[in-house]
A and B are shown apart, each in its own frame.
Chain A
Amino acid sequence: MIKITDLEKYYRTEEVETVALNKLSIEVKEGEFVAVMGPSGCGKSTLLNILGLLDDPDAGSFLFNGIEVAKFNERKRADLRKHNIGFVFQSFNLIDELTVFENVELPLIYTGVKAAERKKIVEEVLDKMVIMHRRNHYPQQLSGGQQQRVAVARAVVNNPKLILADEPTGNLDSSNGNEVMQLLTDLNEQGTTIVMVTHSEHDARYSHRIIRMLDGQTVMENIMV
């Protein structure tokens, strides 16, 4: 599903150039659950942003389902993203002014789904995430775990092929963290490919494979049994 080859990314200021990704090559197959680990600043979040088409690489190739997307313009990237990729963030990133229902509904609006159908899909997803009873609440009225469940619901509502999770349990206690990891595992078992950045060995154990990074390069891969 994902094949990146010799990917490079630099961050430049007036005085310093920092290498975030240094000729990185990774492949992720459809249906895989991959965890990316490494110390802060090793480039794992940059990798996730590029995989999510939120950032451009400076060099290298990025094939998504066999199509070269590294040089896609903003419109094409947004189009590919909204139909294929869901995001889960450490800090949930829900819109405070929208209710649970409306937050989950958002990606469907941008894909042009009709209102009645949106309602049906959102309710199904909220049901599945066991958050239906909170549908009219605002994010501030929910616990961290509940907020992350809403974020996962929003990530899956478009039925994406790929979910990118950036430290999804980073702001949760262990109990809520485990719940979220179980949700991701369930989604993966239903066929969704997951790439997750994490600092937690515990969370990483839910994945099929761990990619360990240092200084923008892969240093080790562990296959989980």
Chain B
Amino acid sequence: MLFNYLKIGCRNLLKNKGFSAINITGLAIGMASAILIFLWIYDEVTYEQFHEKKDRIYEAWNLASFSGELHAWNTTPKVLAAAIQKDLPEVETTTRAAWPQRIQFAVGEKKINASGQTVDSTFLQVFSFPLLKGDPATALMDPLGVVVTEDLARSLFGSNDVLGKTVRIDNRKEKKITGVAATPPVNSRFQFEYLLPWADLRADGDDDSYWGNNSVRNYVLLKANASPASANAKMKVLKPRYDNEDPNWQMFLYPMSRWRLYSSFESGKETGGIIVYVRIFATIAILILLIACINFMNLSTARSEKRAKEVGIRKVAGALRGHLVGQFLGESVMIAFIAGLLAVLIVVLSLPGFNRLAEKTMRLPFGEPAFWLLLLGIIVLTGVVAGSYPAFYLSSFRPVSVLKGTFRKINALITPRKLLVITQFSIAIMLILSTIVIRKQLQYAQERQTGYDKAGLTYMFMTGDMDKNYLLIRQELLQSGAAASVTKTSSPLTQNWSDTWGIFWDGKSPDDKTDFDRFSADENLAVTAGLTMVMGRDFDLSKYPTDSTAMLLNESALKTMGFKDPLGRIVKDGDMEFHIVGVFKDFILGSPYYPTKPMVVEGAKRWFNVIHVKLNNKNSVAASLKKMEAICKKYNPQFPFEYHFTDEEYDKKFANEQRIATLSAYFAALTIFISCLGLFGLAAYMTATRVKEIGVRKVLGASVSSITGLLTKDFLKLIGISFLIGAPIAWYCMHHWLQSYPYRTAIEWWLFALTGLLTAAIAIATVGYNAIKAALANPVKSLRSE
């Protein structure tokens, strides 16, 4: 019986090639989209899942109030690890990781910049990063040792058999390779090419025991049967025991299973994180698949008159309804199977592009049985969902009606088919409107005034001898004509590296714990960055040597401090005193979606990591960069010349939203395409069933336009209803989404008008082809056949 079903299914497929093509294409695109999205979701939910002790690994977080608002963050003091080890009996061990750094590795003449971290010796016992060479228990114990990845070892030595070999780091230290690690999996937060032992940091004098210095990540491995709740209860009161800054300052242990997906906190509470996008994209995947299934349902039921006779004959021949339901479901699963294979092909072809878009390195795991099971699951589910309604609908036909030719379709006000079209286009309208709002939000943030001039502004991180030779470098950059202006700063203008609530001024309330962004610059910051001074002046060490302890405020900081006449006033940062020399208009240092924070810029006495160079616009950018390179090579010969354009770095702030906007645009386009594919097929069938009516109308004098209008009108009504359903849902979702951005665009009425018009235009173009074709046909033909 199954063979008979398959046989007739195949013949039906071949006999109705157009219908089959629409169905298979729609389902294949739907399934391919779903597979791509599920791959992305799989990649996200498997972050850090490879660690053998993942269920026992936690990260220490701070939880403290500033200016009445509770904040949670995961940079904690270096000294915390020892305190945890001492006070929490539940803890097996702790490990710390400093901020990732890019340093130079040299072997002979070969020099490679590599990223990595300084970590405690227990790092490789807590986390599962297997060593291909060396002993994980001891590899990070030797202060003169370094662990490198297999890739870095090969790049440096051409082989991974490098245990005991020596490398020169940052042109100042010789290190012996004590371990060769496998390259970390991409779905991990630890993306290192090297691991330096904590002892190295200590030797450099960078270790400290200040509870106020939240500068590293502290990780905790609980004992096998330890209670996380009990450990957390102790963490809550740990800090005040060692530090009296704030008796209410709490800490907590945050489980590894939640790091990737849930670690977005607001007012001290988890508010989502990437899990929000996992849910959004999972919903989109299901919706796209559903839309493709709806096509199948609509086209199958639209063709019901063609299958009705077969149903009647089979029933007369003894088939029960169950037999027919099985047959039609079998056919739809078969079509889904063909579509599934096509979908895999589409995924294989589109995965490189999708990877670029998502900035991932996902692959189809052909070797894993779970993948094939999931694929089979998607195929069967799609086949059953798509085939269920047609199967029950077609199998319900009464043989008496269909065999006597008295079977006619119902033209009721609401039919399941109309409901399906409405569902399909409601989803499409939701996605179109959402995409437009996401794009608008992105554009809104991109167009926000940054407060500085990005044009021709570049920066370099100070490596090797650059700090020592800074004045010479600056002088030559200016003299050579490569630069119009140069300044030395603590961080790039696009990144906030430091903030503090420890800023004091006369009149500050003891309860005021305003958090200030902290930046430092030597001189010419305003002219180099193009800041707008609203009061006072820029730093100028040549004219005012005391500017090494001068301070600039942004307008928000001035407002917070409440000075009417700020110039010359003294502001303290910890033990250091600064005098205010100028106030500038706020500029965006952090997120372009958030209001600017109060900010202090401290003078030359502070620390520096970056040189900003405003290129001379009299020369070409290429010529200026060439000169810059020559100068940097001259004064810092051991290190490669690396530079960044501020505008490009600023654009990276939008990468997440840009990615979401692009992905949602693609998926909205696919949804529309699949919906239109179905609408096209449906319109073709609907028009075919009205051929006689069209013929009679033409004979009675109807024009082509009136017939086209007649045939298009019904579909437009459905689109109108879809709009009334889809638009409010989209508004609700997007309104909710925008709430996560303090600096956000408005959802204006014209967005709805645009979406409505766009959808109507697409629907008219889709249906119109069939309608015009029918209207132009010779009525004699259709009437003769009667």
Contact = CB atoms under 8 A, between A and B. Distances in A.
B313 A110 contact: no
B70 interface: no
A179 interface: no
A107 B318 contact: yes
Nearest to B402: A93
Contacts of A111: 318
B404 interface: yes
A12 interface: no
B318 A82 contact: yes
B745 to A, nearest CB: 55
A59 B320 CA distance: 25
Contacts of B405: 91
B403 A82 contact: no
A54 B402 CA distance: 11
B12 A78 contact: no
A49 B315 contact: no
Interface string A29-43: 000000000000000
Contacts of B313: 93-95, 106
Interface in B399-441: 399-400, 403-405
A75 B310 CA distance: 19
A54 B311 CA distance: 13
A102 B1 CA distance: 11
Contact of A89 (B310, B318, B323, B403): B403
Contacts of B316: 52, 54, 81, 87, 93
A117 interface: no
B15 A97 contact: yes
Secondary structure class of chain B's binding surface, majority of residues: helix
Nearest to A83: B318
Contacts of A61: none
Contacts of A98: 7-8, 11
A111 B320 CA distance: 11
Interface string A85-101: 00101010111011000
Interface in B6-42: 7-8, 11-12, 15
B323 A110 contact: yes
A74 interface: yes
A130 interface: no
Nearest to B11: A97
Contact of B12 (A45, A97, A102): A97
A163 B675 CA distance: 48
A93 B318 contact: no
Contact of A106 (B314, B321, B403): B314
A26 interface: no
A102 B320 contact: no
A87 B399 CA distance: 12
B310 A97 contact: yes
B8 A55 contact: no
A54 B398 CA distance: 8
Given A97-B310, A154-B317, A54 B15 contact: no
Nearest to A81: B318
A84 to B, nearest CB: 10
B698 interface: no
B579 interface: no
Contacts of B400: 49, 54-55
A142 interface: no
B319 interface: yes
B309 interface: yes
B312 A78 contact: no
B319 A78 contact: yes
B9 to A, nearest CB: 9
Nearest to B306: A96
Contacts, number: 67
A67 interface: no
B310 to A, nearest CB: 5
A224 interface: no
Interface residues of A, number: 29
B479 interface: no
Nearest to A98: B8
B4 interface: yes
A95 B8 contact: yes
B15 A93 contact: no
Interface string A143-167: 0000000000010001000000000
Interface in A39-76: 45, 49, 52, 54-55, 74-75
A155 to B, nearest CB: 9
Contacts of A110: 1, 314, 317-320, 323
Contacts of A91: 403, 405
Interface in B313-356: 313-321, 323
A78 B315 contact: yes
Given A54-B399, A97-B310, A109-B1, A78 B318 contact: yes
Contacts of A109: 1, 4
Nearest to A115: B3
Given A49-B400, A97-B11, A97-B15, A102 B319 contact: no
B317 A82 contact: yes
B318 A102 contact: no
A75 B320 contact: yes
A74 B317 contact: no
Contacts of B404: 45
Nearest to A55: B400
Contact of B8 (A74, A81, A82, A97): A97
A107 B1 CA distance: 11
A52 to B, nearest CB: 8
B652 to A, nearest CB: 59
A102 B7 contact: yes
Nearest to A95: B310
A82 B314 CA distance: 10
A111 B400 CA distance: 21
A106 B399 CA distance: 16
Contacts of A107: 317-318
A106 B317 contact: yes
A81, A91, A110, A154: which has the most chain B beta carbons within 10 Å? A110
A93 B309 contact: yes
Contacts of B319: 78, 110
A78 B318 CA distance: 5
A55 B400 CA distance: 7
Nearest to B404: A45
Interface string B101-132: 00000000000000000000000000000000
A208 to B, nearest CB: 25
Nearest to A154: B317
A106 B309 CA distance: 14
A81 B319 CA distance: 10
A78 B320 contact: yes
Contacts of B310: 95, 97
A165 to B, nearest CB: 13
Contacts of A52: 316
Contacts of B12: 97
Contacts of A105: 4
Given A55-B400, A110-B319, A93 B1 contact: no
B156 to A, nearest CB: 68
B11 A93 contact: no
Interface in B284-323: 309-310, 312-321, 323
Contacts of A49: 400
Contacts of A78: 315, 318-320
B309 A102 contact: no
Interface string B268-285: 000000000000000000
17 contacts: A54-B398, A55-B400, A74-B320, A75-B320, A78-B315, A78-B319, A93-B309, A93-B312, A94-B313, A95-B8, A95-B313, A98-B8, A98-B11, A102-B7, A109-B1, A154-B317, A158-B318
Given A98-B7, A106-B313, A109-B4, 14 more contacts: A49-B400, A54-B316, A54-B400, A81-B318, A91-B405, A93-B313, A95-B309, A95-B314, A97-B12, A97-B310, A98-B8, A107-B317, A110-B314, A110-B318
Closest 10 CB pairs of A and B: A82-B318, A110-B318, A97-B11, A107-B317, A106-B317, A54-B400, A49-B400, A55-B400, A78-B320, A95-B310
